[in-house]
Chains A and B, each alone.
Chain A
């Protein structure tokens, strides 16, 4: 088990530069919410696929597609397995596919849009965006710091898991059912001790650098909705509108 790969510092925010990275986080947040909502309204599988392809194209532009494929691959595998099991049960492949594809495509839209946002937005930008959207300062800071520390916690959990393995305990799922104390003693308690210590260190470090609950903070890089952001938003709105019209209209591929 190597959690470092799944949650490395680079996966949660790929520190590269692209038009998508430079976009205002509020616009990207709008994109996530907009596409998710639209996916609920769309009935036709073809237009749902188009939506997913559009999001994947944006990921490709931002250079994060490669990192995403790892997660999307797992997701795809899960979808294929579900359809396969359903096919075995109903002995009807077309029915299983038709039954599950809208569900997985909608889910796919949400996952891809969410990852696009997470992989192209720095914690700093997110915190500023939240502040500009009148989110209470202490909450937005806590939220963004939490995001920043997810990889750290994943590393901590991996080290604890390694320490367990070194003591000859390989807690498989069966072991955990057989002896729940392994999970409790072996993972949860040490992880909690580390989380408490880390939180304490972080809080002291923040205050030692003049942090006062986030009130009255300014920023080195002010986020601003620019011409590119507006252009992108308009294009997206039009694209989504066309999809909705097509979906409600007489066009139907399936």
Chain B
């Protein structure tokens, strides 16, 4: 099905090869997992399979990529579309239509097929992903998992033999990811060849035939699914593997909990009966909790359960309909502290939040608005640059940094305001285990200095490693609250909460 020989590729204006001497042979009907650290070249490899590289990305490509008998050098991306279905990370940015059936029909329409044939293909593709019921629905009213299934159907309607999925689960909650893998299992049974690019491996163990591990543009390991059960290999190649989580987490949290004494720490945030309603009817209802100094709180819940809305209300981006948010309830004068000192919030996508052209000016952006003098700004920025390990990057353009570095810059930008609370919204999306552990280290360091955290995440490994307490949300309500240590035995405990069914 796929035959790659001596593939070498350089992105335009770079001397370091993004792919180096890659040889790969994939048989028809195989399910291949390509994994490795961020930036190891796995997405680049995927882009060579339908000709995005070299036809759209440019750059220099040596060697040969043949898919279903077609050499990608001789066929453009749209000519390869009937051979390769390509599913990207974010389903929403790939929707051209509003109705499910129109979206699925988009591909066959481009081929100029007659309406009866298009209708037949749409029906079959929707049947294959079990979305027939939703045919007339608006794509934007579907859940994230359903959107990704529509996306697969939109590719299946072109009848490709090969499906390439580039980190398709990174925006999905657990039920969404499970739906997706059930769909992939059906497609595999129907004889499709599937190449999955991912660094989360927990869901694919059952499906995968072969595992390919990449590093620095090279394939460094090829093996069967046994590789996914080898903790040493997982650790060595920075691959996420929560099967061995419990012992790891226990070690981590022994250090973590020693830092905070639950009984004596001061309460810094008290939320009472908070409610908020959107115009579309979705509401946050009666949310109450407290947070102590140096405490790390995790908020868990499926997409659309109200986690981000809660964070936005706390950060003052949305005005609560009812209820109170009190900072420093024990301290009468505490409420005079300005909002910027109380909390900072890092949103999911760093692209929306970086405004300046150098890291050190990014850290000082907006500080003058808070009434700091120039000397004070200068000294604060220097302190944070060195403590957050950003000194070497001080003159780099923030948009040129890696995603982990961008996030560190953003956290640092809030640290210059010396906040008491930092809220991070889905901070580990698309992160490999190396970068995730680095972020865990940063959070622990700041927590040691007395900063409290609210972490919104689907990432169980990350949450178990960092948090003291977990809040479970569903339909805008808190349905449970637990100390993280109570969740260690997650097979027993977490069955109760769908979110943690690993």
Contacts and interface: CB of A to CB of B under 8 A. Distances in A.
A172 B10 CA distance: 45
A208 interface: yes
Interface stretch (B105-113, B170-178, B382-390, B492-500): B105-113
B119 interface: yes
A166 B345 contact: yes
Contacts of B86: 205, 208
Interface of B: 50, 52, 56, 76-78, 81-82, 84, 86, 88, 90, 92-99, 101-102, 105-115, 118-119, 122, 138, 140, 154-155, 158, 279-280, 312, 315-317, 339-340, 344-345, 347, 349, 351-356, 365-367, 369-370, 399, 413-414, 417
Interface string A201-234: 1111111111110001111111000000000000
A190 B355 contact: yes
A167 B317 CA distance: 11
Nearest to B354: A190
Among A167, A197, A203, max chain B CB count under 10 A is at A167
Contacts of A148: 95-98
A148 to B, nearest CB: 6
Contact of B115 (A13, A168, A222): A222
7 contacts: A167-B353, A201-B90, A205-B86, A206-B96, A218-B109, A218-B113, A220-B118
The number of chain A residues touching the other chain, given as a range, is: 35 or more
A85 to B, nearest CB: 31
A123 B96 CA distance: 9
A122 interface: yes
A201 B366 contact: no
A5 interface: yes
A7 interface: no
B315 A166 contact: yes
Interface of A: 5, 8-10, 13, 15, 122-124, 145, 148, 152, 156, 159-160, 162-169, 185-186, 189-190, 193-194, 197-198, 201-212, 216-222
B355 A193 contact: no
A220 B107 CA distance: 11
Given A201-B88, A222-B115, A13 B109 contact: no
Contacts of A15: 98-99, 138
Nearest to A199: B93
A102 to B, nearest CB: 35
B422 to A, nearest CB: 11
Nearest to A213: B78
Contacts of B413: 167
A166 B286 CA distance: 24
Among A13, A189, A194, A210, max chain B CB count under 10 A is at A210
A204 B58 CA distance: 13
Nearest to A219: B109
Contacts of A208: 50, 52, 77-78, 81, 84, 86, 155
Nearest to B338: A168
B365 A5 contact: no
B351 A194 contact: yes
Q: Which 8 A-B pairs have the closest CB atoms?
A: A210-B81, A220-B105, A205-B94, A163-B353, A210-B110, A167-B366, A168-B340, A207-B77
Contact of B347 (A163, A186, A210): A163
B355 A219 contact: no
A197 B340 CA distance: 30
B347 A159 contact: yes
B415 to A, nearest CB: 12
Given A166-B344, A169-B366, A193-B399, A210 B99 contact: no
A197 B339 CA distance: 33
B81 A218 contact: no
Contacts of B102: 122, 124, 220-221
A220 B92 contact: no
A207 B107 CA distance: 9
Given A122-B99, A148-B95, A169-B365, 20 more contacts: A123-B96, A123-B98, A152-B92, A159-B352, A162-B352, A167-B366, A168-B340, A169-B366, A185-B365, A194-B351, A194-B352, A204-B77, A204-B88, A206-B96, A207-B56, A207-B81, A208-B155, A209-B81, A211-B78, A220-B118
